[in-house]
Amino acid sequence: MTDRQAALRDIAAGLLGGGQFATFIGFRAGLDPSRPVPHFVRDASGAGALVINPFCGAGLARHVLEALEDGPVGILTRGCDGLGLERLIADGRVARERLHIVAVACRGAVDPARARAILGRIPERAEVDAQAVTLIAGEERRSVPRDSCLLSRCLNCVDPSPRLADSWLDEPLPAGVRDFKAVSHMEQQPPEARYAFWARQFRRCIRCYACRNVCPACSCRSCSLDDPELQERATSLADQFGFQFTRAYHVAGRCVACGECQRACPMSIPLSLLNEKFLKDIRDSFGIADPHRPSAVEPLACYRPDDPESWRGDAR
């Protein structure tokens, strides 16, 4: 852990000191030790503030968009960040050659709220491995199952390491295969239960657009959701369904499953469950094994002459 952090600081300092890079994006300690915050280092002397620990939860990919305005960017990159960067590159928003990707293998990030609830106080440190999470505060060490306190996106993660890298802080971890268990579970619910579930979730939406603003696939210069003729500002349930549908559909086939939308949602709406539904159907219908990993042409911008019409007959 400390080795990686030291290496990261060295690389960042080197990049910024070399004069070619204007910004290095990573994390630094926050007000609360369980909530490090995204940090933008501008010169080599600031690299010492960078930290890596299991509380580093926020996605960093989206931040390169603005940072690139100042010049080339170095960025600490986990698997999810890497997919986000791939998305931005595929969308023509980011030039690969203007990035220096410092890859790190990630075993999962701790959800600070769940960790605090378990410990009864703010944890100061945490250790994450393939089996368990150890939360530490003062003299207290508590080992708990991963699924009790990791961010939900980390529990479903199949890309612990980025596919793009310019330097590595450690050995890459192998990629896995997404199982879409939560989507399958939802699909098995009766339609009325599904509707009741989503209506309840969408009702809560406050339209803060955090889900969109944090999303590496939502990098449009201007968003149709901001155009009142395309998306009314009203928040009736009908409008909430319209908004949620449009957000999810606009990332269909483009979502990298980084889970940032769900992490960012202040109302805890399970947005990943929407995105993953599209991903699962793309995998099943179009034979694309890993639809969350960006490809040259996105699945809805191409076709095969023999695409299945398996949905035909569903209605009758």
Partner 1 sequence: MPRIGAFICHCGLNITATVDVERVAARARAIPGVVHAETYKYFCSQPGQEKIAEAIRSSRLDGVVVAACSPSMHEATFREAAALAGLNPYLVQIANLREQCSWVHSHRETATVKAAALVAAMVAKVRRDQPLEPIRLSVYPRALVIGGGVAGMQAAWDIAEAGHSVLVVEREPNLGGRMAQLSETFPTLDCASCILTPRTAEVARHPRIELLTWSEVREVSGYVGNFSVKIARRPAFVDWDRCIGCMLCQEKCPAPAPIAFEHGMGMGKAIGVSFPQAVPNRPVIRREYCRRFQGRKCQVCAKVCPVGAVDFEQAESFREEKVGAIVVATGFDVMPAAQFGEYGYGEYPDVIDSLAFERLNSSSGPTGGVIRRPSDGKIPREVVFIQCAGSRDPDRGKPYCSKICCMYTAKHAFLYRQKVPDGQAYVFYMDIRAGGKGYEEFVQRTVDQAGAMYLRGRVARVYPEDGRLLVEGVDTLSGTTVEVAADLVVLATAVLPREGARDLARTLKIAVDEHGFYSEAHPKLRPVETMTRGIFLAGAAQAPRDVAETVAQASAAAAKALGLLTRGELAADPLVAQVDEARCSGCLVCRHVCPYQAIEPRDVAARKVASVNPGLCQGCGACAAICRSGAMGLHGFSGKQVLAEVEAICL
Partner 2 sequence: MTAQPKLVGFACRWCSYAGADLAGTSRLEYPASVHLIRVPCSGRVDPTFVIRAFQRGADGVLVAGCHPGDCHYASGNLFARRRFALVKRFLEYLGLEPERFRLEWISAAEGRRFAEVIREMTADLERLGPNRKLREDP
Partner 3 sequence: MTMNLLPSERLAEFRECLAAGARLYGPVEVDGIVLFEELGGRPPAIRPGNPANSLKSFLCPQTEAVFDFEGGYTDVALRVPAAPTAQAIFGVRPCDAVALERVSRVLLAEPFADESYRQRREMTTILTMACREAGPHCFCRSVGVSPADGRGSDVVLYPADGHYLLEAVTARGLSVLQSAGAFLDPARDEAARATCQSTPVPLIGAVEREDLAARLEAVALHPHWDELARRCLGCGACTFLCPTCYCFALFDTVRGARGRRSRGWDSCQFKDYSLMAGGHDPLPTKASRIRRRFLHKLSRFPAVQGEYACVGCGRCGGTCPVGLHLAGVLSELEEVLR
Contact residues toward partner 1 (CB under 8 A) are 91-93, 219-224, 227, 229-230, 250, 297-298, 300-302
Distance in Å, CB of 234 to partner 3, minimum: 5
User: Cβ distance 75 to 58 under 8 Å?
Assistant: no
Q: Which helix (H) or strand (E) holds 80?
A: helix 79-90
Q: How far apart are CA 142 and CA 136, in angstroms?
A: 6
Q: In whole angstroms, what is the distance from residue 55 CA to residue 32 CA?
A: 10
Q: How far is the CB of 85 from partner 3 (least distance, A)?
A: 17
How many residues lie near partner 2 (CB under 8 A)?
47
- Tell me the residue ranges of DSSP E strands in 11-96: 23-28, 37-41, 50-51, 73-77
- The span of 67-75, 130-138, 234-242, 258-266 binding partner 2 (CB under 8 A) equals 234-242
- Whole-angstrom distance, CA of residue 182 vs CA of residue 236: 27
Q: Which is nearer to partner 2, 85 or 282 (CB)?
A: 282
Q: Which is nearer to partner 1, 28 or 93 (CB)?
A: 93
Minimum distance from CB of 202 to partner 3 (Å)? 12
DSSP character string of 234-284? --SHHHHHHHHHHHHHHTTTT-----HHHHH-TT---THHHHHHHHHHHHH
Nearer to partner 1 among residue 116 and residue 293 (C-beta): 293
- Residue 37 or 132: the one with the smaller Cβ distance to partner 3 is 37
Q: Which is nearer to partner 2, 113 or 238 (CB)?
A: 238
Dihedral (CA of 149, 162, 93, 180) sign: negative
Distance of CA 183 to the CA centre of its chain: 18
Touching partner 2, residues 193-232 (CB under 8 A):
193-199, 203, 224, 230
Kindly state whether residue 95 participates in binding partner 2, applying the rule CB under 8 A. Answer: no
Cβ distance to partner 1 smaller for residue 67 or 154: 67
Q: Considering the rule CB under 8 A, would residue 238 count as an interface residue with partner 2? A: yes
Count of C-beta atoms within a 10 Å radius of residue 187:
12
Select the binding partner of residue 91 from partner 2, partner 1, partner 3, none (C-beta < 5 to 8 A, by kind).
Answer: partner 1
For residue 56, give the nearest of 85, 86, 87, 25 by alpha carbon: 25
CA 223 vs. chain centroid, Å, equals: 20
- Rounded least distance, CB 99 to partner 3, Å: 16
Is 130 among the residues that bind partner 2 (CB under 8 A)?
Answer: no
Binding site for partner 3 (CB under 8 A): 23, 30-32, 35-40, 58, 62-63, 66-67, 113, 116, 122, 200-201, 204, 206-210, 212-214, 226, 228, 232-236, 260, 263-264, 266-268, 270
Report the distance separating Cα 16 and Cα 140, nearest Å.
Answer: 39
Q: Choose among partner 2, partner 3, partner 1, none what residue 297 binds, the Cβ cut-off being 5 to 8 Å by kind.
A: partner 1
